[in-house]
Amino acid sequence: MKKLLLSVFTLSCFAGFGQWVYTGNNTSNDVTAAFGSAFSSDGLISGSSGLYSTPDNGATWANSNTGVPSAGLIFGTLNSGSLYAFKSNSVYVSTTGNNWSMQPSTMSSSLTIKSMTSLNGTVIAAASPNSPASFKVFHFVGGTWTLKSSPSNAMYITCIRNLGGTLFAGTTASNIIKSSDAGMTWTTSSTGAPTQNCHKYNNCLASSGNTMYCGTIGGRIVRSTNSGTNWASVYNIGDDNGFYGINDFYVYNTNTIFAATDSGFVYTTNGGNSWTRYNVGLNFGNFENLMKRVTVSGAYIIAGVNTSGGARIVRMPLSSIGLTTGINELAAGTLENKVYPNPTSDNVTIEVSDLTFDDNCIVKLYDAMGREVATTLMNGGKAELNLENYSKGLYSFTVSNKNTIASRGKLVVN
């Protein structure tokens, strides 16, 4: 009996050790990770705190508003080593997250950008009109925003993502739509998804391999295990009336997905087969469970929440839910890659086939001693490195997305 009581006490202490904590006077609820750090912004609600960055994985924050409006910025996408953000129809870009420049835009002042993604090295933006009309999809090429399409089968696009080379978009009334021609034409892709109006309104999309996830304003997580061909509900936090929504996803590794919801933090470690809610430390009386965005920085999960007193940032150790910061291999084995020319004495291209992550991958190069000597972003399944100043010899590389290694290989500098 004593051993049993001791075990229960130990488990209780362990479960309570890691919990969500407030990170400081940071009135933000939009968060993202880039350049080895984390950033937050007040763009999802009215506020005046602007953009923040953290040097210590969310423990402390400092304003990082150089070049951007003092309030209202929303994070867009990471593309070719640059982080994009937007406010209304204005676009801002930074290569560090701390100094921003406004990007030339030809979008009409009657449009408001809602979401961004990247595809084959190009930034795609979905924008809504300020008065009822067709939605607009733009892409940024050669320094100019060009109209790609005005989808007629969607009231509004709420989120747009590149999932394995195909653009998917969540809408406010037509469920999920997709485009296989970089946004020129769109078709409905929601077979099996719930048909209630509140579930036809989608808040967020994410993918891991061929498995895709959609979060609805009605509180359901909907999953497709065949690249969006068929969908099925796998989790429901709400009452199917639109009161509790799924707001954001973060793909930690192949099987581990985080969800920010209006009922707090929800996660899966088995590819979406089962989900667990973990809100230890959140003050429900202050509505800190209204979680809007979630990301990971170092050994911490960082989230933006809405409270009765405004927005705030909370964080929690990954270890609270039994996760480590180690790198995971892609469950199905590393993907095939091509390296050319190999051997090389100057430029080399690394190409990975069947890359289905929705965010940019990172290529890291290691010397024969295992020391990291170079890093670059991969876009559209390709990355280029200039090795003309590197010592001759054998090098290895990894292609990873967040905490998952998708491919490994070797190359020779001669």
Reduced to 3 states, what is the DSSP secondary structure of residue 195?
A: coil
Predicted local confidence at residue 293, as pLDDT: 96
| pLDDT of residue 171 exceeding 50 | yes
6, part of any domain: no
Domain contains 8: no
Q: How many CB atoms lie within 10 A of CB 312?
A: 21
Same domain, 181 and 260: yes
Distances (CA, A) of 35 to 170, 178, 378: 28, 30, 14
**Quick one: 194 and 146 in the same domain?**
yes
194 closest CA partner among 210, 161, 213, 216: 216
Q: Say if 11 falls within a structural domain.
A: no
- Shared domain for 315 and 334, answered yes or no, is no
Q: Are residues 235 and 206 in the same domain?
A: yes
**CA quadruple 363, 364, 367, 370: dihedral positive or negative?**
negative
Range(s) of the domain holding residue 114: 19-321
399 shares a domain with 258: no
CATH code, domain carrying 176: 2.130.10.10
Query: Do 163 and 200 have their domain in common?
Result: yes
What percent of the chain is predicted at pLDDT more than 90? Answer: 39
Q: Do 361 and 242 share a domain, yes or no? A: no
Question: Using CA atoms, how far apart are residues 154 and 175, in angstroms rounded to an integer?
Answer: 8
Res. 132 pLDDT band, cuts 50 70 90: low
Over the chain, what is the mean pLDDT?
Answer: 84
* E strands present in 198-287: 202-208, 211-216, 220-224, 232-236, 246-251, 257-261, 264-268, 276-277
Q: Confidence band (pLDDT; 50, 70, 90) for 119?
A: confident
User: Does the residue 103 lie in any domain?
Assistant: yes
Shared-domain flag, residues 295 and 215:
yes
**250 plus 287 within the same structural domain:** yes
Same domain as 88, residue 45: yes
Last residue of some domain: 321, 336, 360?
Answer: 321
- Count the neighbouring beta carbons within 10 Å of the beta carbon of residue 366: 16
CA distance 198 to 232: 15
**Residue keyed to tokens 């937007």:** 86
Distance CA 292, CA 296 (A): 14
Given a cut of 50, whether residue 9 has pLDDT beyond it is no
Same domain, 314 and 346: no
pLDDT tens digits along 89-118: 889 999 888 889 998 777 888 888 999 998
**CATH number of the domain that residue 360 is part of:** 2.60.40.3080
For the chain, percent of residues with pLDDT exceeding 70: 88
C-beta of residue 174 within 8 angstroms of C-beta of residue 200? yes
β-pairing verdict for 290-297 and 300-307: antiparallel
Please tell me the total count of domains within the chain. Answer: 2
Of 306, 321, 336, the last residue of a domain is 321
pLDDT per position as a tens digit, 332-350 = 456 788 999 999 988 899 9
CA-derived radius of gyration, the chain = 21
234 inside domain = yes
Would you say residue 16 has pLDDT above 70? no
Task: Give CA–CA dist 180/3, Å, rounded.
Answer: 60
Per-residue confidence (pLDDT) for residue 14, from 0 to 100: 40
Nearest to 323 by CA among 382, 256, 381: 256
Q: Can you tell me the distance from the alpha carbon of 402 to that of 258, in angstroms, rounded to the nearest whole number?
A: 13
CA angle 351, 355, 359 (to 5 degrees): 105
In this structure, the number of other CB atoms found within 10 A of the CB of residue 201 comes to 21
Of 321, 341, 362, the residue at which a domain comes to its end is: 321
What pLDDT is stored for residue 360 in this prediction? 64
Top-confidence residue, 89 or 133: 89
Task: Give pTM, 2 decimals.
Answer: 0.80
Token pair recorded at residue 220: 């359901």
Rounded distance, CA 370 to CA 352, Å?
22
Asked if residue 379 has pLDDT above 80, the reply is: no
